[in-house]
Amino acid sequence: MWIYKNTSDNSARFVLGESGKKPLICFGINASIAKPEKLDNTVSRVKSIAQQRKFDGWIMLNLYPQRATVPAGIHQKMDITLHRKNLRHIKKVFKNNQKSTVWAAWGGLIESRTFLKQCLKDIAGVLEPYSVKWLHMGKLLAQGHPHHPLYLNNDAPFLPFNIKGYLKKI
């Protein structure tokens, strides 16, 4: 069953996925054009990795929910109302998936806007009460960021991701 939450004007997407008892929950940077039945390359890759790794569902979330086909299209300044709505949707996802596996997959794109790091810090705060397991796939980038899903081999391993240590460094 599809999970899909977006704004009425479709300028932002908060949640996209397929439900399951043990979903892989992936955090990217921003929402693109993907929607149910019409996934983009990144979300198709997330779905494929989830299936290969024997998860029975997957959920795509983002540090910032604005739809932009390229990172350069992301707002220059954070829309705080949009960010707060994103946090509320994320909290709802994790209320239903409290012991989930979380895939950190935003790549170096977190550097594309200064406010994205604050978005991640706020998200990590929302997730603090839940027993989530943070992972990244493959080696970390030279700057310590987790790889974006499109730039990984299918057989790259999932490895523990120290979100607290990462947040201190960024």
Amino acid 167: pLDDT: 97
Alpha helices in 73-128 (DSSP H): 80-95, 115-127
Q: Are 147 and 107 in contact (CB under 8 A)?
A: yes
Amino acid 70: pLDDT: 86
Give the domain extent around 10: 2-169
Q: Which residues pair with 135 in a beta bridge?
A: 103, 160
Residue-wise pLDDT tens digits, 113-122: 999 999 999 9
Question: What sign does the CA torsion over 111, 113, 117, 120 have?
Answer: negative
Q: How many CB atoms lie within 10 A of CB 166?
A: 19
Residues whose CB is less than 8 angstroms from the CB of residue 166 and which lie 6 or more positions away in sequence, other chains included:
104, 144
* Mean pLDDT of all residues belonging to the chain: 96
Report pTM.
Answer: 0.97
Q: How many domains does the chain have?
A: 1
Residue-wise pLDDT tens digits, 88-126: 999 999 999 888 999 999 999 999 999 999 999 999 999
The answer to whether residue 134 scores a pLDDT higher than 90 is: yes
Crossing angle of helices 80-95/115-127, nearest 10°?
A: 30
Q: Give CA separation, 46 vs 49, 70, 95, 143, in Å.
A: 5, 18, 21, 23
Closest CA to 101 of 168, 27, 38, 151: 27
β-strand 23-31 against 57-67: which pairing, if any?
parallel
